[in-house]
A and B are shown apart, each in its own frame.
Chain A
Amino acid sequence: ETGVTQTPRHLVMGMTNKKSLKCEQHLGHNAMYWYKQSAKKPLELMFVYSLEERVENNSVPSRFSPECPNSSHLFLHLHTLQPEDSALYLCASSQVLTGGEKRNTIYFGEGSWLTVV
């Protein structure tokens, strides 16, 4: 149990479908993140929400749409995806602090495996 829960763990969707990934953190953190892990690539940061405001969007295509209704929940809405979007999508959270050894330590969920057919 990591304190960050992602659902569903596995998702298969067609290119015309609309689906959503859900993330919930039980750690009392104030920042949440979406990362994408594709085979043989570094973990790619997609979105950052700090204090429920989006603070970073790394040129992610508009077919990925994040939503952060509160500090404990984060969604990734998926629409008209491409097969190359098939990957492991990881949600993470952290407590935004300055200074100290635990600054910016991010805690990950177990990920949602997405296959686009």
Chain B
Amino acid sequence: DQQVKQNSPSLSVQEGRISILNCDYTNSMFDYFLWYKKYPAEGPTFLISISSIKDKNEDGRFTVFLNKSAKHLSLHIVPSQPGDSAVYFCAASLNQAGTALIFGKGTTLSVSS
């Protein structure tokens, strides 16, 4: 049973528009959430995170929103750029030191110019 779900395997967006990537989770004990970006033939790279005490965290063009009641988080990229084309993974963590992350299956974002 998947605890972290990314229900959209792919998303296509035009350059300059907003990209919205969604993620749902089932375990209410998760209290820290992260987004990773992955290019082909490379390992995932950390993008942005949010703890459960917040509902929004912003870093440049990237904003993550957390809705705890809905167990839903989203990543907004605005404006989208062709270099943003990659696979985006949502991940969640329990409130235990040393606990590894639980990942979703990923969403492939394609930004066309």
Contacts and interface: CB of A to CB of B under 8 A. Distances in A.
Interface stretch (B11-19, B43-51, B69-77, B78-86): B43-51
A90 B89 CA distance: 14
Chain A interface residue bracket vs B? 20 to 34
B100 A101 contact: no
A92 to B, nearest CB: 8
B1 to A, nearest CB: 11
Given A103-B32, A104-B32, A110 B98 contact: no
Interface of B: 2, 4, 32, 34, 36, 41-46, 49, 51, 57, 89, 91, 93, 97-106
Interface of A: 2, 4, 6, 31, 33, 35, 40-43, 45, 48, 50, 55-56, 90, 92, 96-98, 101-111, 113
